[in-house]
Chains A and B, each alone.
Chain A
Amino acid sequence: MTVLTLAKALNEGLRAAMDADPKVLIMGEDVGKLGGVFRVTDGLQKDFGEDRVIDTPLAESGIIGTAIGLAIRGYRPVCEIQFDGFVFPAADQIITQLAKMPLRSLGKLKLPVVVRIPCGGGIGAVEHHSESPEAYFTHTAGLRVVACSNPVDAYTMIQDAVRSDDPIVFFEPKRRYWDKADVELGAPGLPLGKAKVVRTGNDVTLLAYGPMVKTCLESAAAAEDDGRSVEVIDLRSLSPLDMGVITESVNRTGRCVVVHEAPVFTGLGGELAARISEACFFRLESPVLRVGGFSTPYPPSRLEDHYLPDLDRVLDAVDRVLAY
Chain B
Amino acid sequence: MTASTTGLTAPPELVQLLTPEGERIEHPDYKIDLTAEEVKALYRDLVLVRRIDLEAVALQRQGELGLWASLLGQEAAQVGSGRALTDVDMAFPTYREHGVAWCRGVDPINLLGLFRGVNHGGWDPAEHNFHLYSIVIGTQTLHAVGYAMGIQRDGAEAATIVYFGDGATSQGDVNEAFIWASVFNAPVVFFCQNNQWAISEPLEKQSRIPLYKRASGFGFPGVRVDGNDVFACLAVTRKALADARAGQGPTMVEAFTYRMGAHTTSDDPTRYRVADELEAWKLKDPIERVKAYLFRGELADQEFFDKVEAEADALGKELRRSCLALPDPAPEALFDHVYAEPHALMADEREQYLSYLAGFER
> What residue in chain A is nearest B359 (Cβ atoms)?
A316
Q: Which of A86, A294, A312 has the most CB of B within 10 A?
A: A294
CB < 8 Å: which of B271, B272, B346 contacts A296?
A: B346
CB < 8 Å: which of B171, B272, B331 contacts A58?
A: B171
State whether the Cβ of B205 lies closer than 8 Å to any Cβ in chain A: yes
Instruction: Report yes or no: A127 in contact with B200, Cβ–Cβ below 8 A.
Output: no
In the assembled complex, the Cα of A33 lies from the Cα of B66 at a distance in Å of 25
CB < 8 Å: which of A58, A265, A316 contacts B201?
A: A58
Shortest C-beta distance, B13 to chain A (Å), equals: 25
In the complex where A33-B271, A59-B172, A126-B66 touch, is A303 in contact with B205 (Cβ < 8 A)? Answer: no
State whether the Cβ of B209 lies closer than 8 Å to any Cβ in chain A: no
> What residue in chain A is nearest B271 (Cβ atoms)?
A34
State whether the Cβ of B199 lies closer than 8 Å to any Cβ in chain A: yes
Instruction: Report yes or no: A57 in contact with B206, Cβ–Cβ below 8 A.
Output: yes
Instruction: Report yes or no: B206 in contact with A302, Cβ–Cβ below 8 A.
Output: no
State whether the Cβ of A122 lies closer than 8 Å to any Cβ in chain B: no
In the assembled complex, the Cα of A32 lies from the Cα of B271 at a distance in Å of 10
State whether the Cβ of B184 lies closer than 8 Å to any Cβ in chain A: no
Instruction: Report yes or no: B66 in contact with A30, Cβ–Cβ below 8 A.
Output: no
Shortest C-beta distance, B50 to chain A (Å), equals: 22
Instruction: Report yes or no: A29 in contact with B345, Cβ–Cβ below 8 A.
Output: no
In the assembled complex, the Cα of A128 lies from the Cα of B135 at a distance in Å of 8
In the assembled complex, the Cα of A304 lies from the Cα of B168 at a distance in Å of 29
Instruction: Report yes or no: B118 in contact with A300, Cβ–Cβ below 8 A.
Output: yes
State whether the Cβ of B266 lies closer than 8 Å to any Cβ in chain A: yes
Instruction: Report yes or no: B206 in contact with A58, Cβ–Cβ below 8 A.
Output: yes
Contact partners of B95 in chain A: CB under 8 A: 126
Shortest C-beta distance, A294 to chain B (Å), equals: 5
CB < 8 Å: which of A58, A125, A294, A299 contacts B167?
A: A58
Q: What 0/1 pattern do residues 87 to 101 of A give for CB contact below 8 A with B?
A: 011000000000000
Contact partners of B267 in chain A: CB under 8 A: 37
Q: What 0/1 pattern do residues 276 to 313 of A give for CB contact below 8 A with B?
A: 00000000000000000011110111111011000011
In the assembled complex, the Cα of A48 lies from the Cα of B26 at a distance in Å of 51
State whether the Cβ of A85 lies closer than 8 Å to any Cβ in chain B: yes
Give the residues from 107 to 130 in chain B that come closer than 8 angstroms, CB to CB, to chain A.
Answer: 114-120
Instruction: Report yes or no: A300 in contact with B205, Cβ–Cβ below 8 A.
Output: no
State whether the Cβ of B137 lies closer than 8 Å to any Cβ in chain A: yes
Instruction: Report yes or no: A34 in contact with B349, Cβ–Cβ below 8 A.
Output: no
In the assembled complex, the Cα of A34 lies from the Cα of B267 at a distance in Å of 10
Q: Which of A34, A59, A85, A312 has the most CB of B within 10 A?
A: A59
Instruction: Report yes or no: B338 in contact with A59, Cβ–Cβ below 8 A.
Output: no
Contact partners of B331 in chain A: CB under 8 A: 303, 306
Contact partners of B353 in chain A: CB under 8 A: 294, 306
In the assembled complex, the Cα of A198 lies from the Cα of B329 at a distance in Å of 37
Interface residues on B, range: 35 or more
> What residue in chain A is nearest B330 (Cβ atoms)?
A303
The A/B interface has a contact count, at CB < 8 Å, of 111
> What residue in chain A is nearest B171 (Cβ atoms)?
A59
State whether the Cβ of A188 lies closer than 8 Å to any Cβ in chain B: no
In the assembled complex, the Cα of A60 lies from the Cα of B317 at a distance in Å of 41
Instruction: Report yes or no: B345 in contact with A295, Cβ–Cβ below 8 A.
Output: yes
Contact partners of A35 in chain B: CB under 8 A: 271
Give the residues from 28 to 77 in chain A that come closer than 8 angstroms, CB to CB, to chain B.
Answer: 29-30, 32-35, 37, 55-59, 61-62
In the assembled complex, the Cα of A294 lies from the Cα of B345 at a distance in Å of 10
Instruction: Report yes or no: B335 in contact with A296, Cβ–Cβ below 8 A.
Output: yes
Shortest C-beta distance, B87 to chain A (Å), equals: 28
State whether the Cβ of A124 lies closer than 8 Å to any Cβ in chain B: yes
Instruction: Report yes or no: A303 in contact with B199, Cβ–Cβ below 8 A.
Output: no
Instruction: Report yes or no: A58 in contact with B170, Cβ–Cβ below 8 A.
Output: yes
Contact partners of A304 in chain B: CB under 8 A: 117
Instruction: Report yes or no: A33 in contact with B171, Cβ–Cβ below 8 A.
Output: no
> What residue in chain B is nearest A92 (Cβ atoms)?
B172
Instruction: Report yes or no: B335 in contact with A30, Cβ–Cβ below 8 A.
Output: no
State whether the Cβ of B67 lies closer than 8 Å to any Cβ in chain A: yes
> What residue in chain B is nearest A34 (Cβ atoms)?
B200
Contact partners of B168 in chain A: CB under 8 A: 58
Instruction: Report yes or no: A30 in contact with B349, Cβ–Cβ below 8 A.
Output: no
In the assembled complex, the Cα of A159 lies from the Cα of B119 at a distance in Å of 39
Contact partners of B173 in chain A: CB under 8 A: 89
In the assembled complex, the Cα of A55 lies from the Cα of B201 at a distance in Å of 7
Instruction: Report yes or no: A30 in contact with B200, Cβ–Cβ below 8 A.
Output: yes
Instruction: Report yes or no: A295 in contact with B349, Cβ–Cβ below 8 A.
Output: yes
Q: Which of A58, A124, A307 has the most CB of B within 10 A?
A: A58
> What residue in chain A is nearest B168 (Cβ atoms)?
A58
In the assembled complex, the Cα of A95 lies from the Cα of B82 at a distance in Å of 40
In the complex where A34-B272, A295-B346 touch, is A302 in contact with B116 (Cβ < 8 A)? Answer: yes
State whether the Cβ of B136 lies closer than 8 Å to any Cβ in chain A: yes
CB < 8 Å: which of A59, A85, A124, A307 contacts B170?
A: A59
Instruction: Report yes or no: B200 in contact with A56, Cβ–Cβ below 8 A.
Output: no
Shortest C-beta distance, A174 to chain B (Å), equals: 12
Contact partners of A306 in chain B: CB under 8 A: 331, 334, 353
Additional A-B contacts beyond A57-B167, A303-B333 (11; CB < 8 A): A62-B170, A88-B136, A89-B136, A89-B173, A125-B66, A127-B114, A128-B136, A296-B335, A296-B349, A299-B333, A302-B328
Tell me the A residues contacting B by CB distance below 8 Å. Answer: 29-30, 32-35, 37, 55-59, 61-62, 85-86, 88-89, 124-128, 265, 294-297, 299-304, 306-307, 312-313, 316
Q: List 27 A-B contacts (CB under 8 A).
A: A30-B201, A32-B200, A32-B201, A34-B271, A37-B266, A55-B200, A57-B170, A57-B206, A58-B137, A58-B206, A59-B172, A61-B172, A85-B136, A88-B136, A89-B173, A128-B135, A265-B345, A294-B353, A295-B345, A297-B338, A299-B333, A301-B66, A302-B117, A303-B117, A306-B331, A312-B360, A316-B359
